[in-house]
């Protein structure tokens, strides 16, 4: 790996030791693989957990993207190999904090929890420390003491929308160093919204209601993962709404062969300007631009501010639009939403009727009804704070690119996108001094190119060991690929192993198999019949949208894209959490 660049500790530098990482497989066979390790200088052992696995974005990030994410979070994060890691050593060493950490990790990604437990079971790597006064925010979530009131969600959404509108207005006049001061101040507003206790309580209320329903109804009725059906077509799910709106765009385009032909030939991003020249092109252009007005800030890997957005590269949407034109009937969006809503209502009535026939059934039914109302009130909101964050990131990016254009015109930078290879604070210094280290940018570009070939571990130690974790399940057939059951149902289909959504060719009956999905993958969910990912948990994007659309899904399947062949027939057991490879 390229040598670490010196003097980059502030605001998200790339300092990391390039070591050979020892991976201990579940059968204890050592495997060596190169991955940098976050730099420390205290001589102590450390345990790091990947941020990318929790955020469903395990790709390498450029320095500006890393530093923005570090400026957005309330907890220190270390970078290595173009990825971010959280040091959880203190929590593991503290008896009071350890249980909370393991519980949170276990709900989100059991492989991480198992890896951490493996390290603890050795007894010698993490030195136990007596508990003292808390030094930071608690590991666990805040208590979900919030009433079940739809007006709360509407108010939270309106606050986020109003704040983004104010940002778009006020940032226009900012240039030079004052722009960076303004963004730093506005990042505090972003953090206030992201970590608002009321917002956190709303998110946790939906999650805890879903957990309660799954646990209690399996105990009372033997129903597995019943919340999957009960949370279909919930209000205010901005990501699910985005996918359905793209179906509406396809409905506008479908009747016009000239528009469809132009989209098939679109190889660059000026196709929108050519649309008005063909029959049906004016209304098609308006439909696409309207969609981009609402969702143009999204893209694959959207937590990295440097990634090209749909609004910057609309051609990335063309494959999804054409797939909808070819494979989906007109009016499907509303029919799909209505059908899922009615299915959730039907399931609710069935459950309540069955509960009332049990001993103590009236009380059980009343408790269940309250929890169903609660999960349907709050479940959709979970996707909104991240949407608000990505809206803000795009506003910041547009302003920074205007500043980069000024620096290129002044001869300071050779290319506008050179700013992506500087941290935020380094770029601030360039704007103040009009001086840049071109050699540093060159080294960063070389380093990023090498990082793209690396696969980040979920859990990494300061000794260079990757502990992969295991599910340790005994309730699945031999020879299957085990993962997390996140969206109920069983379906057989043709595996489509996809690395890049923009290049995906998906059709009815296909099962999407990929490393991870984020909101930008939502349009693909409208065509497929099931989902399998290597990364994810019950409340990450792929799981949430799969449940919303009624797609069986298994996530967290290690090495799925390597073990499943493109075109292979597979059976996805979304209720039980495994994938069967068919002959």
d(CA 375, CA 203) in angstroms, rounded, equals 10
pLDDT tens sequence across 89-139: 999 999 889 999 999 999 889 999 999 999 999 988 998 877 654 544 444
d(CA 78, CA 50) in angstroms, rounded, equals 10
Give 47's DSSP letter: E
Contacts of 137 (CB under 8 A, 6+ apart): 74, 75
pLDDT at 248: 96
Beta strands 465-466 and 569-573, pairing class: unpaired
Residues 218, 353 within the same domain: yes
Cα separation values, 129 from 132, 418, 529, Å: 9, 45, 50
Residues 150, 134 within the same domain: no
- Would the pLDDT of 4 be above 50? no
The distance of Cα 474 from the centroid of its chain, to the nearest Å, equals 30
Residues 374, 500 within the same domain: no
Is 474 contained in some domain?
no
In angstroms, the first-to-last Cα distance of the chain is 41
Cα separation values, 363 from 76, 106, 226, 358, 359, Å: 46, 31, 19, 10, 9
Residues 281, 343 within the same domain: yes
The position carrying tokens 């360039």 is 430
In which element (H, E) is residue 563 found?
A: helix 560-563
pLDDT at 132: 56
- Domain limit, last residue, from 466, 490, 511: 466
Is 271 contained in some domain?
yes
Is 287 contained in some domain?
yes
Is 533 contained in some domain?
yes
For residue 553, which phi and psi values (nearest 5 degrees)?
-150, 140
pLDDT at 194: 96
* Domain tally, the chain: 3
pLDDT tens sequence across 201-248: 999 999 999 999 999 999 999 999 999 999 999 999 999 999 999 999
Contact (CB, 8 A) for 504 and 324: no
pLDDT tens sequence across 295-347: 999 999 999 999 999 999 999 999 999 999 999 999 998 998 999 999 999 99
| Host domain of residue 259 | 141-409
pLDDT tens sequence across 464-518: 999 989 999 999 999 999 999 999 999 999 999 999 887 788 888 999 999 999 9
Residues 461, 332 within the same domain: no
- Would the pLDDT of 254 be above 70? yes
CATH code of the domain covering residue 518 = 3.50.30.10
- Would the pLDDT of 32 be above 70? no
Is 5 contained in some domain?
no
Residues 228, 352 within the same domain: yes
Is 151 contained in some domain?
yes
Is 431 contained in some domain?
no
pLDDT at 1: 27
d(CA 395, CA 296) in angstroms, rounded, equals 11
Rounded mean pLDDT, 522-527: 89
pLDDT at 541: 86
Active site residues: 541
Percentage of residues in the chain having pLDDT higher than 90:
83
Residues 164, 39 within the same domain: no
The side-by-side arrangement of strands in the sheet containing 553-555 is: 481-482, 578-581, 569-573, 490-497, 510-514, 530-533, 553-555, 484-487
Residues 301, 343 within the same domain: yes
pLDDT at 11: 34
d(CA 270, CA 276) in angstroms, rounded, equals 12
pLDDT at 121: 94
Rounded mean pLDDT, 351-372: 98
Residues 98, 194 within the same domain: no
pLDDT at 504: 82
Q: Which position has the higher pLDDT, 399 or 506?
A: 399
565 band by pLDDT with thresholds 50, 70 and 90:
very high
Rounded mean pLDDT, 41-54: 94
Residues 495, 459 within the same domain: no
pLDDT tens sequence across 386-396: 999 999 999 99
23 band by pLDDT with thresholds 50, 70 and 90:
very low
Q: Write the Ramachandran bin of 301: left for phi over 0, alpha for psi from -120 to 50, otherwise beta.
A: left
- Would the pLDDT of 14 be above 90? no
Q: What is the mean pLDDT of the chain?
A: 91
- Domain limit, last residue, from 435, 466, 497: 466
145 band by pLDDT with thresholds 50, 70 and 90:
confident
Residues 133, 152 within the same domain: no
31 band by pLDDT with thresholds 50, 70 and 90:
very low
The position carrying tokens 């601030």 is 428
For residue 43, which phi and psi values (nearest 5 degrees)?
75, 5
Is 60 contained in some domain?
yes
pLDDT at 500: 86
- Would the pLDDT of 267 be above 80? yes
Contact (CB, 8 A) for 547 and 574: no
- Would the pLDDT of 522 be above 70? yes
Residues 123, 195 within the same domain: no
The CA angle 446-452-454, to the nearest 5 degrees, is: 115
């Amino acid at each position: 790996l390229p040598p670490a660049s010196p003097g980059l500790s502030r605001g998200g530098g790339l300092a990391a030791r390039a070591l050979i990482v020892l991976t201990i497989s579940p059968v204890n066979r050592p495997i060596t693989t190169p991955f940098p390790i976050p730099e420390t200088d205290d001589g102590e052992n450390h345990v790091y957990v990947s941020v990318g696995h929790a955020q469903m974005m395990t790709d390498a990030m450029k320095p500006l993207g890393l530093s923005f994410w570090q400026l957005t979070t309330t907890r220190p994060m270390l970078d290595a190999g173009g990825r971010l890691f959280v040091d959880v050593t203190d929590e593991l060493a503290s008896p009071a904090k350890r249980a909370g950490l393991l519980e949170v990790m276990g709900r989100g990604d059991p492989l991480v929890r198992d890896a951490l437990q493996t390290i603890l079971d050795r007894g010698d790597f993490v030195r136990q420390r007596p508990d003292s006064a808390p030094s930071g925010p608690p590991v666990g979530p805040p208590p979900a003491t919030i009433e079940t009131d739809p007006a709360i969600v509407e108010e939270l959404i309106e606050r986020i929308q109003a704040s983004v509108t104010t940002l778009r207005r006020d940032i226009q006049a900012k240039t030079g160093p004052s722009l960076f001061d303004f963004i730093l101040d506005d990042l505090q507003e972003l953090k206030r919204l992201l970590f608002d206790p009321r917002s956190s309580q709303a998110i946790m209320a939906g999650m805890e209601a879903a957990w309660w329903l799954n646990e209690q109804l399996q105990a009372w009725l033997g129903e597995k993962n019943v919340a999957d059906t009960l949370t279909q077509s919930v209000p205010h799910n901005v990501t699910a709404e985005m996918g359905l709106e793209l179906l509406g765009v396809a409905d506008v385009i479908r009747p016009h062969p000239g528009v469809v032909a132009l989209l098939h030939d679109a190889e660059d991003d000026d196709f929108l300007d050519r649309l008005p020249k063909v029959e049906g092109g004016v209304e098609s252009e308006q439909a696409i631009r309207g969609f981009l007005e609402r969702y143009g800030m999204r893209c694959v890997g959207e937590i990295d501010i440097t990634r090209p957005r749909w609004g910057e590269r609309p051609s990335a949407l063309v494959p999804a639009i054409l797939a909808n034109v070819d494979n989906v009937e007109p009016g499907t969006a509303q029919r799909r939403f209505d059908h899922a809503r009615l299915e959730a209502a039907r399931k609710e009535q069935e459950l309540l009727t069955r509960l009332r026939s049990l001993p103590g059934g009236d009380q059980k039914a009343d408790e269940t009804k309250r929890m169903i109302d609660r999960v349907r009130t709050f479940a959709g909101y979970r996707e909104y704070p991240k949407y608000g964050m990505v809206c803000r990131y795009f506003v910041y990016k547009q302003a920074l690119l205007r500043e980069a254009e000024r620096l290129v015109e002044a001869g300071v930078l050779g290319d506008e996108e050179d700013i992506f290879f500087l941290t935020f604070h380094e770029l601030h210094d360039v704007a103040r001094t009009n001086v840049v280290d071109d050699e540093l940018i060159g080294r960063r570009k070389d380093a990023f190119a090498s990082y793209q070939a690396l696969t980040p571990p979920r859990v990494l130690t300061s000794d260079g060991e990757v502990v992969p974790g295991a599910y340790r399940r005994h309730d699945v057939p031999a020879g299957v690929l085990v993962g997390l059951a996140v969206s109920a149902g069983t379906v057989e289909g043709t595996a489509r192993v996809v690395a890049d959504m923009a290049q995906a060719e998906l059709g009815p009956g296909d099962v999407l198999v990929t490393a991870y999905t984020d909101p930008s993958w939502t349009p693909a969910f409208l065509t497929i019949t099931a989902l399998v990912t290597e990364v994810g948990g019950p409340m990450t994007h792929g799981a949430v949208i799969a449940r919303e659309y009624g797609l069986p899904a298994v996530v967290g399947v290690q090495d799925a894209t390597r073990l499943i062949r493109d075109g292979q027939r597979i059976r996805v057991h979304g209720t039980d959490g495994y994938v069967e490879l068919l002959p």
